[in-house]
Amino acid sequence: MGCHTWVYIKLSALSEEQKQTIVQQKTQELENSFVINSSVDDIVQELEQLEPEDAQMILDGKTPQQYAEDAKKEITYRWNDLKNKGFNSKEIQNQKYNMNIRKFNGEKYYYLAFDTPFRIFGYPTEEFTDKEQLLNWLQKTHYRYGYYNGNYEFVEGYTEELVKRINDFFEKYDKNNEHVLHVHFG
């Protein structure tokens, strides 16, 4: 059974520091991409080395040359947009480019990938924006949950440390209890 715990924060609630971190992460992703660091000819050469069925899926009816030219134009556009607009660029604000963006109730949220205070195993359908509701639900649920301690050992159940981690997490991201977080399970 998988671990499916995702925590998102409203884009509008991110601090300037958090926004700059996201811009830096996306900039680094683009700078490290094969397309940015390669010529059109290099891209064509890579495509021509693929198995025919793999190439067909990627090329989608284009020639390797057309695909490489289009990919280079697209990534250059995205790179320039990010450099010029930063946090307001399509690279960050558009779900097409940024897999960490989700919409809940018509509002955009950003995935806090490496800062989740606990894990739940299974597929609950509940979603929470309120810390107290989340804590109350955890006390009653039949799903297995807990957190990983400093030794990467899973500590299961409703413990004082788990409650502290959740409280600290909400204090860090939702100090004024404005319900800017969205806890979502798979």
**Domain containing 143: what range?**
116-185
- Decide if 158 contacts 139 (C-beta within 8 A): yes
Closest CA to 128 of 182, 186, 164: 182
Residues 133, 78: one domain?
Answer: no
For the chain, the distance separating the N- and C-terminal CA atoms, rounded to the nearest angstrom, is 11
Q: What is the mean pLDDT of the chain?
A: 89
Supply the pLDDT for residue 114.
Answer: 67
- Residue 99 domain flag: no
Residues 52, 83: one domain?
Answer: yes
Nearest-5° Cα angle at 6, 162 to 140: 45
For 96-134, what is each residue's pLDDT tens digit? 888 888 888 888 998 887 678 898 988 888 999 999 999
Of 93, 108, 131, which one is at a domain's C-terminal end?
93
Residues 79, 142: one domain?
Answer: no
Is residue 1's pLDDT more than 70?
A: no
Supply the pLDDT for residue 155.
Answer: 93
- Residue 10 domain flag: no
Q: How confident is the model at residue 23 (pLDDT cuts 50, 70, 90)?
A: very high
Residues 132, 78: one domain?
Answer: no
Residues 127, 164: one domain?
Answer: yes
Residue 56's Cβ-side half-sphere holds a number of Cα atoms within 13 Å equal to 3
pTM of the full structure: 0.75
Supply the pLDDT for residue 98.
Answer: 86
Q: Rounded mean pLDDT of 47-71?
A: 91
Of 93, 108, 129, which one is at a domain's C-terminal end?
93
- Residue 56 domain flag: yes
Is residue 154's pLDDT more than 70?
A: yes
Q: What are phi and psi of 114, to 5 degrees?
A: -110, 25
Is residue 85's pLDDT more than 90?
A: yes
